[in-house]
Amino acid sequence: MLRVESLTVHHGPVAAVVDLDLEVREGEAVALLGANGAGKSSTLAAISRLIPAVSGAVHLDGRPLGRRAADQVARLGLLHVPEGRRVFPTLTVHENLQVASAARRRRGGGPRATRALLDEVYDLFPMLTPLRDRPGWALSGGEAQMVAIGRALMGAPRVLLLDEPSLGLAPAVVDAVYGALARIRERVPLLLVEQDTTRALNLCDRAYVLRGGRLAMTGTAAELRDAPDLVAAYLT
């Protein structure tokens, strides 16, 4: 589904990600783990073209993305729920979701499909229904996270990139978010960046562990769960 080959990303003079290969197959949820600053978010941002990569290639469905810009990549169905949620503060919850239909413009963007997807999102996050007309700036962190995920779903994702969906959320809200992710992964392959190793490994099939921008280890979720010490060593 998604294949990343020898990705290298720089922040100014410093290398954030070095020569990274990774893959997300059909029907699979993959976790990207690592310490603070290991290059996880940079990897996602470079895949979705939010930031430029120095070198490397990204393939979606076996086709290279080439030099497409972020919005073009999104319209192909590679959708990224960014760090910090980045809900549009001046748009209401409903408008935040509506505006994200743009990603489906050439893949069934009609009003009927939009309505169906809107229903699906409100069904997945019932908490959002009473908040439809609340502006983005007035949302709490958990509500904003749900809008951010819902927004990506409005684009009918073929692969979903998620950056720390649990950051700064109360445990009950994290449960709700992960409950929704468990349902989403039935239909959409996920690439998940997460600090919370246990949650990530419970949700995902496989994981990559980054350290200093390089791939440190990889394995199935079960393998990594059985070797917590090893994982912890790479996370510190």
Partner 1 sequence: MSELPPSPAAPAASASSTSSSPRARSSSPPRSRRAVVNRLLGRAADGLPVPYQRGQLAVVVGVIAVTLLVGALTGGEYGYGLLGAWAVLSISTLGFYLVFGLSGQFAFSQAAFMAVGGYTSVAVARHAGFLAGFVSAIVVAALVAALLALLISRTEHFAFAIATLAFGFVATVVFREWEDISGPGGEVLGIERPSLFGHTFATDEALFPVLVGALAIALVVVALVERSPVRREAIAVRDNPVVATLSGVFVQRRRMLLFTLGSAFAGAAGSLLAHRSAAIFPETFSLQLAINLFLALLFGGMGSMWGPLLGALFVTQVPERLRFVGRYQDLIYGALLVVIIVAVPDGLAGVTGRASRALRAYAHRRGRTTATARAPLEADEAAGPAAADEPGAAAGESAVPGRQPPGQGRTSGPAGDAAPALAARDIDVRFGGVRAVAEVGLTVGAGEIVGLVGPNGSGKSTFLNAITGLVPAVGSLEVGGAAVPLRRPARVRAAGVGRTFQTPQVVEGLTCLENVMLAVPERRLAGLGAALGRRRAMISLERARAQRARVALARVGLAELADTPANQLAYGWRRRLELARVLVAEPKVVLLDEPAAGLNEAETRWLAEMLRSLRAAGCSLLIVEHKLALLNDICDRLVVLRLGEVVAAGEPAAVWADPRVVEAYLGGGPAAPAPPAPAMAAGQQAAGTADAPVAAPTTAGGNGDAAS
Partner 2 sequence: MSGFITSLASALTQGSVFALIALGFLLIYRATGVVNFAQGDLVTLGAYLSYWAYHDLELTLLSSWLLAVAIMFVVGVALERFAYAPIRTRSEHTVVIATLGAAMVIRASIAIWQDTSPKFSPDPFNGEIMELAGARIPYQNLLVIGATVVIVAGTLLLVGRTGFGRSIRALAADRGAASLVGIPVSRVSMLAFGLSSALAGVAGVLIAPTQALTVDLGFGPMLFAFAAAVLVGLGRIGAVLLGAVAIGIAQYVVGRYVFPDFRDLYPFILMLAVLAIRPRGLLGEQVGRRV
Q: Which residues bind partner 1 (CB under 8 A)?
A: 10-12, 14-16, 35-39, 42, 138-143, 164, 167-173, 175-176, 179, 195-199, 211-213, 232, 235-236
Residues composing the chain: 236
Considering beta carbons, is residue 120 or 175 the nearer one to partner 2?
A: 120
Asked whether position 100 contacts partner 2 by CB under 8 A, the answer is: yes
From partner 2, partner 1, none, interface partner of 171 (C-beta below 5 to 8 A by class) = partner 1
- Contact partners, residue 236, CB within 8 Å, separation at least 6: 35
- Burial of 209: CB neighbours in 10 Å, binned 0-12, 13-18, 19+: buried
What are 160's strand-pairing partners? 79, 190
3-state SS of 159-202 is EEEEECCCCCCCHHHHHHHHHHHHHHCCCCCEEEECCCHHHHHH
- Return the number of the residue (69 or 182) whose C-beta is nearest partner 1: 182
Joined together, the tokens standing for residue 45 give: 């941002």
167 binds partner 2 (CB under 8 A): no
Selected range binding partner 2 among 33-41, 81-89, 167-175, 221-229, rule: CB under 8 A:
81-89
Name the segment binding partner 2 (CB under 8 A); options: 28-36, 58-66, 82-90, 166-174: 82-90
Q: Interacting stretch for partner 2, rule CB under 8 A, among 1-9, 26-34, 88-96, 117-125?
A: 88-96
Residue 133 near which of partner 1, partner 2, none (CB within 5-8 Å, type-dependent): none
Per CB under 8 A, residues contacting partner 2 are: 48, 50, 69-71, 74-75, 79-80, 82, 86-91, 95, 98-105, 136-138, 151-152, 154-155
